[in-house]
Chain A
Amino acid sequence: MQVPAPFEYERATSVDQAIGLLERLGSSARLVAGGHSLLPMMKLRLANFDYLIDINPLHAELGYIRLTGDEVRIGALTRHRELLESDELAAAFPIFRDAERVIADPVVRNRGTLGGSLCQADPSEDLSAVCTTLDASCVIRGPGGSERVVTMEEFHVGPYETAVGDDEMLTEIRLPLRPGGGSAYEKVERRAGDWAVVSAGAAVWLTADGTIADARVGLAAVGPNTTGIPELSAALRGREPAEDLYEQAGAIAARSCDPATDQRGSADYKRHLADELTRRTLRTAVARARS
């Protein structure tokens, strides 16, 4: 049994109380959501914190999926399993269900949260790629009830680093709803439940005449962070969906990423997958947008 170093533990009673504790305890404290990223690191003693503030009691307040007219809002404590099972979410953004099907395993999905996934900022995190693909914005709450909203680009500062300060908390993700949309996600893994060798998400929005109004691709595990690929979106906008266009997009994806060779695969292979999976997800996203 791997055992963490000693720490103090407190259950949060409200968002503001949790932020108050963070404010007081500074970087020696950490929020724990699902715990599926944080606790393994603590057990391996790769990370040691003096205080853990458990925000699971706030699930009633921060676990939700809400569709408004032009937006989907998802609370930071919404669990993988809830994202997987929501038909409403799957109808608006099928990419979520695609992704959740290949994230970890049921045990992890029962506890792990959207907020924890984004805040962990692991370059292989699937939900970061999904949120990047959907052009999400992140709501960050700070001391005294202050709130700011940042884009995914701003949110991810570097590997394992986000815009969320020591005394702040991610509370919500907002996803713009636009007409004519379709989305998809694909992941190559060495084994079920493994982190991605590479994964890709794609979203397209078609005009009434079938041309691409907008398109976005988000990649995981091919660089320090998942970011949108503006050149790729620009190349697709205004064009008719077609195989050669996906090929072109795949080539842009491959050259825009920065993978490293590791046990999951060679950099060359990962670059190839960025291309291959970009093409596959675009194809599916367009088919879904049409239907």
Chain B
Amino acid sequence: MTTVEEPKTTTFDDNDQKPVGFGRMLRKEDPRLLRGRGRFTDDVQLPGMLHLAILRSPFAHARVVSVDTSAAEAAPGVKAVVTGETLKGLGLAWMPTLSNDVQAVLATDKVRFQGQEVAFVVAEDRYAARDALELIDVEYEVLDPVIDVRQALAPDAPLIRDDLEGKADNHCFDWETGDADETEAVFARADVVVQQDIVYPRVHPAPMETCGAVADFDAVEGKLKLWSTTQAPHAHRTLYAIVAGLPEHKIQVIAPDIGGGFGNKVPIYPGYVCAIVGSIVTGKPVKWMEDRSENLISTGFARDYIMRGEIAATRDGKILGIRTNVLADHGAFNGTAAPVKYPAGFFGVFTGSYDIEAAYCKMTAVYTNKAPGGVAYACSFRITEAVYLVERIVDCLAAELDMDPAELRLKNFIQPDQFPYTTKTGWVYDSGNYEPTMRLAMDIAGYADLRREQEEKRARGELMGIGISFFTEAVGAGPRKNMDILGLGMADGCELRVHPTGKAVVRLSVKTQGQGHETTFAQIVAEEIGIPPADIEVVHGDTDQTPFGLGTYGSRSTPVSGAAAALVARKVRDKAQLIASAMLEVTVADLDWVKGSFQVKGDPAKAVTIQQIAMRAHGAGDLPEGVEGGLEAQICYNPSNLTYPHGAYICVVDIDPGTAQVKVRRFIAVDDCGTRINPMIIEGQIHGGLTDGVGMALMEMISFDEDGNCLGASLMDYLIPTALEVPDWETGYTVTPSPHHPIGAKGVGESATVGSPPAIVNAVVDALKPYGVRHADMPLTPSRVWDAMRGRATPPI
């Protein structure tokens, strides 16, 4: 069922007026964050704490001949200097990545990307640690690097991963999905086939807070306490247990407030392990906070896919098949964070929102001398790349058929009665109703008027473009039957305790990095048990305080942990009903639940509130037969499927024909994320994601020179957009609840980042139609747009 609701504009900031459940309310965490009272990793101060700084490789590829630390050790304030050789002795020089590869903690044999960790210093303060780095003398033998991903598999390419037994080339993995023969057959009988090379350049999540950790190892208790910037504290704890050989119950990982993650804070970085080693070696708490350049050059990047897209259709615009060949740059170590059986993440959804007959993808992933990472930056496990591919290639087809791109999409949508819909690559879309979403976006935009305006402007030589993208996401990883990370199933725990006075605490396994969990999850529980959100404390981020679960990324919190929170609240409510029946001396079946209280059927005056029930549950007097005291429950939720939010985005750009500068004039985003818990928070997520999209489409790129020097090592070089580059966002929504999620919610954190880049690029390409342009690669900086106008569009890499 799709309903289009009128947006409500009231925001309740007065506690008495806040909705008990879903609705617009200000975020519970904001008073703390806005007043500067948040507590981030760098705010952690412990008695006797020391500071750690990391020496990084200036070269992309070099043999480490020798490391002399004597001068650094003698420097004032220095407590320890640790090299790869030291770690080797402890069996800690290498660590597993999230993709079953290994990554060097500190280099022993070679450095494989610029910025790789080579040694670290622990000193009394940050300055002394940083100064001592200059005194470490490393002798390198520089090797030829592999920078151009297209050359990585050349027979004479330098070998990067000679640390791996028997490895003779830079091949990382091959992956395929769909049916090659069926697709070939469909292409052979199609009227029209369009092919386009499309590059999604390497970008960086660039969270406002860089990565860091404070490690405090207590040698007497044998207990490690680690504050760190992690989106997945429980998964990290298990990994530390494996890497460091510490018993898991003696490790406490605490993710305090986090200043943005976007996937950047999913992996375990060498710096975290260094901080742990530093604390063990010195017997003191040790803090490591990377600086901005370190964050940009060494931590998880995103994208870096070189794609060839092909689409087959009939002359009248029925899409028959989509085929793609991808070359994926995974950097020096495969540090991709994705479920084990999905080395290309969820790229398999590249068939988009269309009902087609066949699809096939073949991917080759390679190693290069660049920073490791892969799946990061609000990408829903590579759905960003998939959506970009399909939405760009569909526009190329529209151009070829001389058909309106909105019309072409409408003609090919999966229809509402086809859900659940199994795609040709095996994904089961749970629900969707695409046309109303598309039509709403077109209505808000005034699509027909815009096309008229464009025609008039074109006649005057002005460049205006209208770009559309329609996306379906697959979020909420995931069902444990086929999704795990390093053997850890992707189910989420949740625990709810109602205290005697009717206030509650809910403990989550996921962890906010700004998404508003402390509010959204309080609202989910409030909706189910009728306790006001203000009376519900959300505890998260501390492994000693919360049940196990895999963390926040891939838009999974609401689909997985949100379901857990609703179900645990229902469990508590069921128990409350038993107690209420005793209190009111009626059978359970004679009770009605009216949010917040149980009433006797037909006699609403006879009722008990959840607060009264809570006191009774903890109080004196007998409880019904078989009912234990207390009012609490725990659950571990295993989703039966992913959820599939969708959306229709329309972008309007103007381009200055003289300078080739692109101005995003309007952006219309209509999202369908199923049930809407807090519309204000959803809008915040959308606004942020759209801004990300402007960044990627117009300015962001991590590039390298031929020696492998990273050219994006500061925010003056790696540009992220400001308020001046973005328009007033025009948002709308439809509601198609997920049929298998307890409250019908679908997750929305990454929708806008996924959906917006193709809309913007499609708009730019549309504006450049008078120049015969069919494609131009991101980022569409003025210079690159100018090149495209001259028929010289060059791929970024």
Residue ranges of A at the interface with B (Cβ–Cβ < 8 Å): 1-3, 5-6, 44-45, 188, 190-195, 197, 263-266, 269-270, 272-273, 276-277, 280
Contact = CB atoms under 8 A, between A and B. Distances in A.
Contacts of A194: 716, 719
A2 B782 contact: no
Given A44-B714, A191-B721, A272 B786 contact: yes
Interface string B489-508: 00000000000000000000
B717 interface: yes
Interface in B290-320: 291-293
- Grouping DSSP codes into helix (H, G, I), strand (E, B) and loop, the A interface class, with mixed when no group exceeds half, is loop
B787 A190 contact: no
Contacts of A3: 126-127, 130
Given A264-B783, A269-B782, A272-B786, 8 more contacts: A3-B130, A188-B659, A190-B698, A190-B699, A194-B716, A194-B719, A263-B711, A277-B659
A5 B725 CA distance: 36
A197 B783 contact: yes
13 contacts: A1-B289, A1-B291, A3-B127, A190-B699, A191-B699, A191-B721, A194-B719, A263-B703, A264-B781, A265-B782, A269-B782, A276-B659, A280-B658
B131 interface: yes
Nearest to B127: A3
A195 B714 CA distance: 13
B724 interface: yes
B714 A265 contact: no
A94 B192 CA distance: 57
Contacts of B703: 263
B658 A197 contact: no
Contacts, number: 63
A263 B710 CA distance: 12
Contacts of B724: 191-192
A197 B131 contact: no
Given A190-B699, A191-B719, A266-B787, A276 B658 contact: yes
B661 interface: yes
B661 A188 contact: yes
For the complex of A and B, list the 8 residue pairs with the smallest distance between their C-beta atoms, beginning with the closest: A265-B783, A192-B724, A269-B783, A2-B291, A276-B658, A191-B719, A269-B786, A188-B659
B17 interface: no
A106 to B, nearest CB: 12
Contact of A193 (B292, B717, B722, B783): B722
In the complex, which range does the number of interface residues on chain B fall in? 20 to 34
B619 to A, nearest CB: 53
Nearest to B779: A190
Interface in B125-142: 126-127, 130-131, 134
Nearest to A198: B659
A3 B293 CA distance: 12
A44 B783 contact: no
B43 to A, nearest CB: 13
A59 B635 CA distance: 65
B665 to A, nearest CB: 16
A263 B782 contact: no
B445 to A, nearest CB: 25
B163 to A, nearest CB: 31
A198 to B, nearest CB: 9
Nearest to B126: A3
A7 to B, nearest CB: 11
A265 B781 CA distance: 8
Contact of A190 (B127, B289, B658, B782): B782
B776 to A, nearest CB: 14
A266 B131 contact: no
Contacts of A277: 659
A264 B716 CA distance: 11
A188 B663 CA distance: 12
Given A190-B699, A191-B725, A1 B716 contact: no
A269 B131 contact: no
B717 A263 contact: yes
B203 to A, nearest CB: 14
Interface string B146-169: 000000000000000000000000
Contacts of A190: 698-699, 719, 781-782
A270 B717 CA distance: 18
Nearest to B694: A191
Nearest to A48: B134
Contacts of B699: 190-191
Most chain B beta-carbon contacts within 10 A, residue among A44, A190, A193, A266 = A190
B127 A6 contact: yes
Nearest to A275: B658
A269 B658 CA distance: 11
Interface string B705-740: 000000100101101011011000000000000000
B721 A273 contact: no
A277 B658 CA distance: 9
Contacts of A192: 722, 724-725
B466 to A, nearest CB: 23
A196 B363 CA distance: 39
A273 B659 contact: yes
Contacts of B293: 2, 44
Interface centre among A6, A190, A191, A270 (most CB of B within 10 A): A191
A234 B775 CA distance: 43
A195 B722 CA distance: 14
A143 to B, nearest CB: 33
Contacts of A5: 131, 134
Question: In this complex, which of B292, B293, B782 has the most chain A Cβ atoms within 10 angstroms of its Cβ?
Answer: B782
A235 B130 CA distance: 56
Nearest to B290: A1
Contact of A266 (B716, B725, B783): B783
Contacts of A1: 126, 289, 291
A280 B717 CA distance: 28
A265 B660 CA distance: 11
A269 B719 contact: no
A192 B720 CA distance: 10
